[in-house]
Structure 1
């Protein structure tokens, strides 16, 4: 892929969390994210692992998305809010991956999410 090409829309795509510096990811039931996109606006929802449910909304410029998020933790019921920046990458097989950088618990965090193939 050349630097001038833009990766495909996130609209209707589902991703699963592979790794996170915030917490250990349960490989049997990772957090799952559904994204929607229209005219440079991104929104979605997520659930699973340590999250009861969550929502995000933001914008996309090229292959970078900026989002604000809010979710409820399973263990405590605590509401967590924040912002993050994700770089969209495409694997050799054409599937997308999100490299997410955000702050939580007063420290920078990193998570990786991979697209789930459509059923």
Structure 2
């Protein structure tokens, strides 16, 4: 099993559609006893939260977010946790909106320890 997500800061490796999470979005993860949660913000997202479970290297969570235009949205995501060769963590995600149409895949990775932001 990949290491704990607790305290890790991750960011998408590519931008999604306009108005969604992107490379400027930062996720701060927490993990305890099979429960995972995170706060996120950046880019078009003012504030977001996710909460769910972890079983081995599989995450299953729901998310809700407030965007800069004042709209809210929510969805469901299943992710696989993997370790990168350099020791960082990667999440390979399959997500689906529940509050609107749309689904897709994304990859988020732990930010390098030499700098938490490219902003």
**TM-score, structure 2 as length reference:** 0.84
Task: Count residues in correspondence.
Answer: 111
2:76 alignment partner in structure 1? 83
Question: Which has the higher relative contact order, 1 or 2, with Cα contacts under 8 A spaced 6 or more apart?
Answer: 1
User: Could you list the runs of 4 or more consecutive aligned residues of structure 1 that deviate by over 6 angstroms after TM superposition?
Assistant: none
Q: Which residue of 2 aligns with 1:17?
A: 12
Scaled by the length of structure 1, what TM-score is found?
A: 0.84
Question: Does the CA-based 8 Å contact 1:20-1:110 persist in structure 2?
Answer: no
Residue number among 36, 52, 58 corresponding to 1:42 in the alignment:
36
Deviation at 1:25, TM superposition (A): 6.7
Flag structure 2 segments of 5+ consecutive residues without an equivalent: 115-119
What secondary structure, in the 3-state scheme, does the structure 2 residue paired with 1:98 have? Answer: strand
RMSD, matched Cα: 1.8
Shift, 1:13, TM fit: 0.5
